[in-house]
Amino acid sequence: MKICPKCGYEEHISWRSRSNRAFCSYMKWEQFKELEPDGAAKLVEIYPHPVSDGHFNYHITKTGLNVERIELELYKVMGWGAELQEKHTRSRLWELAPIPNKRKLRS
């Protein structure tokens, strides 16, 4: 559970960190509907577009089982594809690396 050191706000325990997306956290859709009924109604109304509450941007995953969120300021800079851009950068660096026979190393 995350607690803000400045204001003391406690985040609900149901928000979990994504293992493959560092800046994104998620919650099960059923739990989100119970905790945030207004937010859930907005998400369903404008699906597949994200909803903002002033601090976070939320969207329903493709499977419809989870709700993901990312900080609004981070979303404005990188969008939902922040981790995908990071992955692309790493693969691009691999292509540029001066390693002889690197094609053989990949297989």
Which pLDDT tens digit goes with each residue over 34-58?
A: 988 888 898 888 888 888 888 888 9
- List the one residue out of 20, 81, 13 whose CA is nearest residue 50: 81
Which pLDDT tens digit goes with each residue over 52-93?
A: 888 888 988 888 899 998 888 888 877 776 554 445 455 554
Domain ranges of the chain: 16-79
27's CB contacts (< 8 A; 6+ apart) are 12, 14, 15, 16, 35, 66, 67, 69
| 71 within 8 A of 23, measured Cβ to Cβ | yes
Q: In the prediction, which pLDDT does 6 show?
A: 76
Q: In the prediction, which pLDDT does 76 show?
A: 80
Which SS3 state, helix, strand or coil, does residue 86 take?
helix
The answer on pLDDT for 102 being more than 70 is no
Element (H, E) at 69: strand 66-71
